[in-house]
């Protein structure tokens, strides 16, 4: 690897970017869900609605600030107390971080259809609360947890000399990606009627990114622990995964050469992704069927109740007519 590529690698890390993208995206979705439920709820109208929306905004900011301070309180001592790591340990940390990031991005891929409204939400998934105090607690706890998770995932990088160098740029890229996704969600929820293809596209891209991260993490592990045999290699420079243009799709699982471990990791992760997506689809389909059945039963019960009222009314009317005739 050239010195320019070493510099680029040291200031940017796709695993860190993926972790930030995942946590910021989930935090943003939480805020959007709370604001949407408040605006549509009959319990929050007029001044109460304005106060609730302002509470969500203020306590989101408070939670993020507190979470960042907690991360710094842990990170700074690690920076001063840590010793220089050998390169192999740095590679192991990067490999593990990529595998963790792959799990995070796959979770996003599974949640996207629900966020877009293609799959039904679980009952009670977003509980706003009946008081401002409950809103403060719910929003601050959820936002603090999402941001604090970034710090937990970043702890290994604080132990590396070059680890912290990659955090600012990687975090900025991850936040930008998250905001782009949030823009898609916001646009889809307000403008698009058919959201199925958008859900398929965004879930597919997220799943492909998770696949690339997992395969890349496994490949880094075999670089340190011992490489498996290489099955094939494309030798033309155009196909090189470290050169433009093919390096663009490298994060999505592309490689100009494949080892036995890479091939096994590719197909195992692909099977896991398809299995969990199918499982999510089946649960969503069963949930929709149950909701339709429950709606039909409720309508029938309502009709039966109306019929019973009509019968009772007719009986009373008949009795009244009989009484009049007798008189």
Q: Quick check: 219 pLDDT over 80? A: yes
Q: Which whole number is the average pLDDT over 13-30?
A: 80
Rounded Cα distance between 39 and 145, Å, is: 24
Mean pLDDT of the chain: 76
Residue of 36, 321, 94 lying closest to 218 (CA atoms) = 94
Q: Which whole number is the average pLDDT over 241-246?
A: 70
What are the counts of helices (DSSP H) followed by strands (DSSP E) for the chain? Answer: 8, 2
Confidence at residue 39, expressed as pLDDT on a 0 to 100 scale: 78
Strands 230-233 and 257-259: antiparallel
Q: Place 4 in a pLDDT band, splitting at 50, 70 and 90.
A: very low
Confidence at residue 308, expressed as pLDDT on a 0 to 100 scale: 52
Q: Quick check: 324 pLDDT over 50? A: no
Q: Looking at per-residue confidence, does 14 or 180 come out higher?
A: 180
257, β-bridge pairs: 233
Angle at 16 between CA 10 and CA 20, to 5 degrees: 145
Confidence at residue 3, expressed as pLDDT on a 0 to 100 scale: 43
Q: Place 62 in a pLDDT band, splitting at 50, 70 and 90.
A: very high
296, β-bridge pairs: none
Counting Cβ atoms within 10 Å, is residue 210 exposed (0-12), middle (13-18) or buried (19+)?
A: buried
Q: Looking at per-residue confidence, does 212 or 14 come out higher?
A: 212
Q: Quick check: 93 pLDDT over 70? A: yes
Domains in the chain, number: 1
Percent helix, strand, coil in the chain, to 5, is 80, 0, 20
92, β-bridge pairs: none
Confidence at residue 189, expressed as pLDDT on a 0 to 100 scale: 67
Which range of residues forms the domain containing residue 291? 3-326
Confidence at residue 130, expressed as pLDDT on a 0 to 100 scale: 60
Mean pLDDT is highest, among 59-63, 107-111, 150-154, for 59-63
């Amino acid at each position: 690897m050239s010195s320019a590529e070493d510099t680029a690698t040291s200031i940017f890390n796709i695993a860190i970017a993926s972790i930030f993208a995942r946590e910021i995206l989930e935090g943003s979705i939480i805020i959007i869900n709370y604001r949407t439920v408040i605006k549509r709820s009959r319990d929050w109208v007029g001044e109460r609605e304005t106060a609730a929306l302002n509470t969500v905004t203020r306590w989101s900011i408070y939670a993020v600030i507190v979470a960042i301070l907690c991360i710094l309180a842990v990170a700074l001592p690690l920076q001063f107390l840590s010793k220089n790591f050998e390169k192999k340990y740095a590679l192991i940390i990067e490999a593990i971080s990529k595998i963790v990031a792959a799990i995070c991005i796959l979770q996003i891929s599974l949640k996207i259809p629900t966020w877009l409204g293609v799959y039904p939400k679980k009952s009670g998934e977003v509980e706003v609360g009946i008081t401002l105090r409950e809103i403060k607690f719910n929003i601050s706890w959820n936002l603090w947890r999402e941001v604090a998770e970034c710090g937990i995932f970043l702890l290994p990088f604080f132990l590396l000399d070059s680890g912290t160098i990659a955090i600012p740029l990687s975090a900025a890229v991850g936040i930008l990606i998250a905001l782009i996704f949030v823009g898609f969600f916001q646009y889809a929820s307000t403008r698009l009627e058919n959201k199925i293809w958008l859900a398929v596209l965004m879930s597919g891209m997220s799943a492909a990114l998770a696949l690339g991260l997992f395969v890349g993490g496994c490949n880094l592990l075999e670089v340190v622990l011992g490489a498996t045999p290489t099955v094939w290699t494309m030798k033309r420079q155009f196909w090189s995964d470290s050169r433009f243009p093919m390096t663009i799709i490298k994060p999505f699982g592309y490689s100009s050469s494949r080892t036995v471990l890479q091939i096994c990791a590719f197909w195992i992760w692909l099977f896991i992704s398809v299995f969990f997506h199918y499982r999510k689809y089946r649960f969503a389909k069963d949930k929709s069927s149950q909701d339709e059945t429950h709606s039909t039963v409720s309508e029938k019960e309502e009709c039966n109740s109306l019929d019973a009222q009509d019968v009772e009314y007719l009986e009373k009317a008949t009795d009244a007519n009989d009484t009049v005739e007798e008189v």
